């Protein structure tokens, strides 16, 4: 940790132009006790990144303990939380969690895999102008801060957002422009390669995506150069850190002992057989080379030990497991790169066996099972009235969300017994990815006035569960009668790059977990037959070329289209009727000035209609009225009453109304709720009438026709039953 520095000492500012806008990076002045503190400004959006490094390696972990936290602050946009009870920021919003993952993903692969010191990056949005998105600045701020700490970080990293505005690719479009964009693509990478991709799209072609990658890589070059300038300007010295030591002796000993046995096991197509064989092999190696105290525990469990007259060298159990894991990964990579053989026997483009069903649950509004290999998702759709939409109140947005997807990953899906917990970052991220994949085909509220919640329960996991959720969502939504515009499917693509020959690589379609663990890329692609709707890419190497990404997208398109054909075999199109257990929803548009008539004084009219007909009525500011109810007859009765209340008088139309006032010259008749017309005495009868009060009284019901609307907007009536 750095020493405390006097206020304002060594503050420096650096500037560049990024996609036509000024970008400022500041160091110094704030957060003196950190190892690095950086502020990045564009427009009036200001993001701060603070980095603190643990002094010693963390014991007992086999991963890089990097923590990335993205903090939204309501004060940044001049807001106070709208909650009546909570004014302080609480649990991070889903959006904040997703941005935290967005920052982590391009940074983590650029550290040594055996680095074990705690590194915490806290990114705080200090100010937002609600036009310049803070997530891009957050990635730049985090990269700059890490670059000036002396950490073994192979950055710098930059990022750019690409949109499609008026059929043109635009770098870092404003938030207001993004609303009209068919593409919202975030790309991050180094000076020469792409590290991370995240996107939502409206059926965008693969060729457009590749052009967007090229534009992003070109656009962030000034930002990369500026970070290098900052690092040189302050004279960053590389710090010495103790890296975790891999036991090379254990590696060579166990490798020699196993010989070709791993090759035989990995070649097993049966998943259960593969896992059992690996477990048995691990126990055997521990019994052969593990510490003596661990052998006693194994003997207590009646595990047959491989005792020999020799006394082999002993290694820590953690080292043995690490070696076996490494050997498995190496054999999988070798088999794919050299033999063209995947663990389950498929070729590089082959999709695992697929089967699916719909309508499997009796009371839900829509349900489906999608199974691909040993990965299985049970997805359920629930329909509700518009009032059930989720209300979002965050730093930069306050609106309703009527379509949502939630993803659950219970421990039994991987055969483990663990306590159930609330959704973590991974679950939230996978749910958001599947949600984005279907968002482009969800019908507008005018066409389908429902709130839609889709939940994917992962029944079994063997890789690509998020993409199974996408496929399951399509099936479940169609089963529920949601008129989606096109079916959507998802596929996860993998990559194996030869460590000695970088030009030698293999792209894999529909990767399973073993290939994901051993491989260099997890590239998730979702879309329709017309184009891409969502992307997410994570890599474990220090960047990918555009040629590899282009090849991966084309191979993904072929696999995605194959899966779509399988989906259509199960259900060709959305059902024409929703479930009998789902609420019926009818929507109609009324004039804004009529809203008060439907609501009534103190809400008495809308409450009465709702209670009498057992319906829910929602009215938005535009005049869109949605009425939801289970009983079709009562629902229609409520709709008819609203139409009556908000109807406009029509010349020539006949009305039956109540007499509200009797005058010498005629009577006033309420022809519609709150709308009166004058029935002149001359229009009562063809005969002369001296005293109209003798023929009609207040509250009498009469049938009249609207004869005209005069120049002053008054309604003149004529009696229909004229004698």
Residues 616 and 491 both lie in one domain: no
Region of residue 16 (left: phi > 0; alpha: psi -120 to 50; beta: else): beta
SS3 101: helix
Residues 135 and 173 both lie in one domain: yes
Q: What is the pLDDT of residues 27-68, one digit of tens each?
A: 988 998 999 999 999 999 999 999 999 999 988 788 899 999
Residues 253 and 317 both lie in one domain: yes
SS (H, E, C) 93-156: CHHHHHHHHHHHHHHHHHCCCCCCEEEEEEEEEEECCCCCCHHHHHHHHHHHHHHCCCCCCCCC
Whole domain around residue 308: which residue ranges?
248-339
Residues 263 and 371 both lie in one domain: no
- The pLDDT, as a whole number, for residue 247 is 87
The size of the chain, in residues, is: 723
| CATH number (domain holding residue 677) | 2.40.50.140
Q: How many CB atoms lie within 10 A of CB 572?
A: 9
Contact 186, 197 (CB under 8 A): yes
- The pLDDT, as a whole number, for residue 268 is 64
* Residue 617 pLDDT > 80: yes
* Residue 641 pLDDT > 80: yes
| Average model confidence (pLDDT) across the chain | 90
Residue 395 belongs to some domain of the structure: yes
How far apart are alpha carbons 713 and 57 in whole angstroms?
A: 83
Q: What is the pLDDT of residues 415-455, one digit of tens each?
A: 889 999 889 999 999 999 999 999 999 999 888 989 999 99
Angle at 141 between CA 137 and CA 142, to 5 degrees: 120
Q: Are strands 624-629 and 616-619 parallel, antiparallel or unpaired?
A: antiparallel
Output the six-digit token pair for 508. 């894999």
Domain boundary among 286, 307, 339: 339
Highest mean pLDDT among 548-562, 611-625, 658-672: 548-562
Task: Indicate the pTM of the whole model.
Answer: 0.86
| CATH number (domain holding residue 420) | 3.30.230.70
pLDDT band at 91 (very low <50, low <70, confident <90, very high): confident
Contact 368, 475 (CB under 8 A): yes
Indicate the burial class of 245 (C-beta count within 10 angstroms; 0-12, 13-18, 19 or more): exposed
Residues 113 and 193 both lie in one domain: yes
Domain boundary among 234, 265, 287: 234
Q: What is the pLDDT of residues 171-215, one digit of tens each?
A: 999 999 998 999 999 999 999 999 999 999 999 999 999 999 999
Contact 29, 21 (CB under 8 A): no
Mean pLDDT along residues 272-298: 77
Residues 549 and 601 both lie in one domain: no
* Residue 571 pLDDT > 90: yes
The set of residues, in sequence order, having a beta carbon less than 8 Å from that of 380 and lying 6+ positions away, is 361, 364, 366, 367, 454, 455, 457, 476
- The pLDDT, as a whole number, for residue 15 is 96
Residue 170 belongs to some domain of the structure: yes
Output the six-digit token pair for 303. 């595990």
SS3 59: coil
Q: How many CB atoms lie within 10 A of CB 24?
A: 14
Domain boundary among 627, 646, 665: 646
Q: Are strands 168-171 and 505-509 parallel, antiparallel or unpaired?
A: unpaired
Residue 74 belongs to some domain of the structure: yes
Q: What are phi and psi of 390, to 5 degrees?
A: -75, 135
For the chain, what percent of residues have pLDDT higher than 90?
59
Residue 523 belongs to some domain of the structure: no
Residues 565 and 600 both lie in one domain: no
Residue 275 belongs to some domain of the structure: yes
Residue 345 belongs to some domain of the structure: no
Residues 190 and 121 both lie in one domain: yes
Cis peptide before 156 (omega within 30 of 0): yes
Q: What is the pLDDT of residues 482-512, one digit of tens each?
A: 999 999 999 999 999 998 888 899 999 999 9
Residues 374 and 435 both lie in one domain: yes
Residues 210 and 80 both lie in one domain: yes
How far apart are alpha carbons 153 and 675 in whole angstroms?
A: 74
- The pLDDT, as a whole number, for residue 309 is 45
- The pLDDT, as a whole number, for residue 492 is 96
Residue 162 belongs to some domain of the structure: yes
Residue 540 belongs to some domain of the structure: no
Mean pLDDT along residues 256-275: 78
Residues 317 and 407 both lie in one domain: no
- The pLDDT, as a whole number, for residue 301 is 52
pLDDT band at 413 (very low <50, low <70, confident <90, very high): very high
Residues 553 and 669 both lie in one domain: no
Count of structural domains within the chain: 5
């Amino acid at each position: 940790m750095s020493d405390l520095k006097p206020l304002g000492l060594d503050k420096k500012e650096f500037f560049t132009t990024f996609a036509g806008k000024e970008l400022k990076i500041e160091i110094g002045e704030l957060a003196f006790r950190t190892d690095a503190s950086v502020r990045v400004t564009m427009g009036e959006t200001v993001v701060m990144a603070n980095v603190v490094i643990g002094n010693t390696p963390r014991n007992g972990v086999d991963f890089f303990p990097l923590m990335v936290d993205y903090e939204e602050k309501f004060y940044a946009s001049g807001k106070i939380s709208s909650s009546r009870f909570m004014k302080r920021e609480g649990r991070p919003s889903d959006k904040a969690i997703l941005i935290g993952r967005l920052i982590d993903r391009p940074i983590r692969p650029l550290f040594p895999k055996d680095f074990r010191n705690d590194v915490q990056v806290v990114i705080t949005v200090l100010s937002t102008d609600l036009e310049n998105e803070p997530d891009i600045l957050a990635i730049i701020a985090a990269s700059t801060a890490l670059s000036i700490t002396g950490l073994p970080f192979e950055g710098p990293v930059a990022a750019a957002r690409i949109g499609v505005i008026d059929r043109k690719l635009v770098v870092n479009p404003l938030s207001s422009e993004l609303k009209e964009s068919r593409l919202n693509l975030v790309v991050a990478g180094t000076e020469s390669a792409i590290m991370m991709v995240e996107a939502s799209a409206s059926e965008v072609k693969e060729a457009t995506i590749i052009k967007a990658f090229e534009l992003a890589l070109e656009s962030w070059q000034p930002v990369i150069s500026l970070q290098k300038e900052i690092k040189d300007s302050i004279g960053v010295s590389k710090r010495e850190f103790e890296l975790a030591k891999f036991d090379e002796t254990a590696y060579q000993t166990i490798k020699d002992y196993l010989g070709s046995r791993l090759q035989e096991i990995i070649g097993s197509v049966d998943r259960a057989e593969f896992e059992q064989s690996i477990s048995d092999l691990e126990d055997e190696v521990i019994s052969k080379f593990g510490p003596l105290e661990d052998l006693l525990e194994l003997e207590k469990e009646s595990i047959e030990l491989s005792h020999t007259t020799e006394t082999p060298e002993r290694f820590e159990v953690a080292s043995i497991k690490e070696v076996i894991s490494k050997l498995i990964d190496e054999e999988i990579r070798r088999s794919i790169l050299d033999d063209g053989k995947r663990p389950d026997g498929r070729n590089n483009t082959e999709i695992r066996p697929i089967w699916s069903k719909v309508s499997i649950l009796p009371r839900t509004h829509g349900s489906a099972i999608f199974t691909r290999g040993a990965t299985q998702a049970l997805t359920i759709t629930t329909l509700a009235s518009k009032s059930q939409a989720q209300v979002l109140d965050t730093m930069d947005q306050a609106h309703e969300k009527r379509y949502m997807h939630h993803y659950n990953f219970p421990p039994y899906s991987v055969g483990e017994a663990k306590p159930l917990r609330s959704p973590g970052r991974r679950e939230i991220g996978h749910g958001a990815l599947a949600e984005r994949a279907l968002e482009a085909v969800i019908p507008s509220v005018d066409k389908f006035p429902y709130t839609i919640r889709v939940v994917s329960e992962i029944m079994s996991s063997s890789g690509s569960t998020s993409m199974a959720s996408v496929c399951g969502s399509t099936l479940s939504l169609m089963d529920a009668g949601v008129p989606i515009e096109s079916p959507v499917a998802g596929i996860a693509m993998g990559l194996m790059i030869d460590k000695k020959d970088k030009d030698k690589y293999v792209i894999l379609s529909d990767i399973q977990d073993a290939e994901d663990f051993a491989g260099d890329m997890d590239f998730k692609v979702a879309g329709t037959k017309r184009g891409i709707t969502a992307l997410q890419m994570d890599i474990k190497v220090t960047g990918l070329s555009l040629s590899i990404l282009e090849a991966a997208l084309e191979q993904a398109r072929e696999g995605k289209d194959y899966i779509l054909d399988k989906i259509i075999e199960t259900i060709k199109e959305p059902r024409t009727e929703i479930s009998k257990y789902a609420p019926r929803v009818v929507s109609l548009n009324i004039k804004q000035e009529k809203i008060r008539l439907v609501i009534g004084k103190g809400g008495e009219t809308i409450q009465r209609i709702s209670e009498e007909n057992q319906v829910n009525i929602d009215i938005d500011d535009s005049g869109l009225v949605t009425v939801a109810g289970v009983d079709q007859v009562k629902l229609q009765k409520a709709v008819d009453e609203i139409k009556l209340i908000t109807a406009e008088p029509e010349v020539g139309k006949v009305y039956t109304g109540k007499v509200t006032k009797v005058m010498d010259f005629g009577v006033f008749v309420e022809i519609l709720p709150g709308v009166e017309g004058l029935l002149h005495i001359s229009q009562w009868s063809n005969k002369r009438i001296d005293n109209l009060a003798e023929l009609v009284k207040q509250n009498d019901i009469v049938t009249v026709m609207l004869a005209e609307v005069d120049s002053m907007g008054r309604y003149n009536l004529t009696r229909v039953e004229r004698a």
